[in-house]
Amino acid sequence: MMFSLFLFASVIPAGQSFTCTPVAVWDGDGPIWCAEGPHVRLSGVAAREMDGSCRPGHPCPKADAVAARDHLAGLLGEPQGRNRTGHILVRGPAMRCLSRGGAGGTRTAAFCTSPRSGDISCAMIRSGLTARWDKYWGAHRCD
């Protein structure tokens, strides 16, 4: 009998710190697939969906979805092409993340800091490619 090992994403409890080595990204606010298993939805920011739409009740930045996704991939590491589902593959350094809890499904909302780019949510807001989502920003501060 042959067994396969699958990494399943699970939600990291709110308040817990964890490591995320980014390996793939979907759009400008995530999810970011981590080599360690979690799928991170950047906390406190909103980007357009890849089809250019914005979800009802979400802030809607004017920026292009592809530009936001590509900028996020560059903040995380070096883009390495795409996988068969269309995610941008990245190779970047491990980040330290602080969970804000579940973000729907198997996604963990988190603020993450990369040795490459600093606070990722803050960098995405500064870029103008995402909108700050006050409901999920809380007391977070950018340096």
HSE of 112, CA atoms in CB hemisphere, 13 A: 33
Peptide bond into 31 cis (omega under 30): yes
pTM above 0.85, yes or no: yes
The residue written with tokens 């780019």 in the block is 117
Give me the pLDDT at residue 105, please.
85
φ and ψ of 61, to 5 deg: -70, 155
DSSP 8-30: PP-PPPTT-EEEE-EEEE-SBTB
Position 104 scores a pLDDT of 83
Contact predicate 73/93, CB 8 Å: no
- pLDDT, tens only, 90-113: 999 999 999 999 998 889 999 999
- Taking the CA atoms of residue 99, residue 72, residue 129 and residue 125 in that order, the dihedral angle to the nearest 10 degrees is 40
Write down the pLDDT at residue 27.
Answer: 95
Residue with tokens 């988190």: 110
Torsion angle defined by CA atoms of residues 142, 138, 133 and 126, in that order, rounded to the nearest 10 degrees: 0
pLDDT digits (tens, 9 = 90+) for 36-53: 999 999 999 999 999 999
Domains for the chain: give ranges and CATH numbers: 21-137 (2.40.50.90)
**Which residue type does 138 have?**
G
